[in-house]
Amino acid sequence: MQKLVGDLMLELRELDKGATWLDREMASSNRAPIVRVGFGAEVDRAMKQRREALVAMGHARRTPDNVIRAPGDLVKRLERSEIERVGKSMAADKHAPFKMNDEGERVSGVFTGTTNLVSGKYAIIENAYEFTLVPWRPVIDERLSREISGVVRGSGISWDFTRTRGIGIGM
């Protein structure tokens, strides 16, 4: 329980860096009921602080009757903002441009590693011209340092792992 409280406090310190568990929980239609004692009281307090922070950052608004409202795509906006910020920062280190992907866009390149963001774990896909960050899934781990491709779908990616036939040496 102490670790959970510590993780929760870390999320509070990382308020403006991406979509947190608190954001996902607040946006969920299947929210777990919170008992406002013990750890439940800590979660309730953290959610109130997060709502206030979202208003302060301009991601949510307070109505005249003092209710805080956020857009339906808040989690997606926070994830995208974090990916863009981190990608631009990584571009300076990699000396290669960062490319932000849009829905339905094909991504292809060499899977060179992963990075952990507040919003989750992301795969680094590099090609000859640029690199991109896409949501990581365990299925791609065995393809590290190999060419992969897929299509961006919502907050995920549909990977295409079919083998091509032709003359040449298989890898």
What is the pTM assigned to this prediction?
0.76
| Stretch 88-95: mean pLDDT | 92
154 — pLDDT class (breaks 50, 70, 90): confident
Report which of 161, 92, 91 is spatially closest to residue 133, judged by C-alpha positions.
91
| Stretch 33-54: mean pLDDT | 88
Q: Give the rounded percent of residues in the chain with a pLDDT score beyond 90.
A: 50
| Stretch 76-88: mean pLDDT | 93
Least confident of 11-15, 45-49, 118-122: 11-15
SS (H, E, C) 122-160: EEEEECCCCEEEEECCHHHHHHCCCEEEEEEECCEEEEE
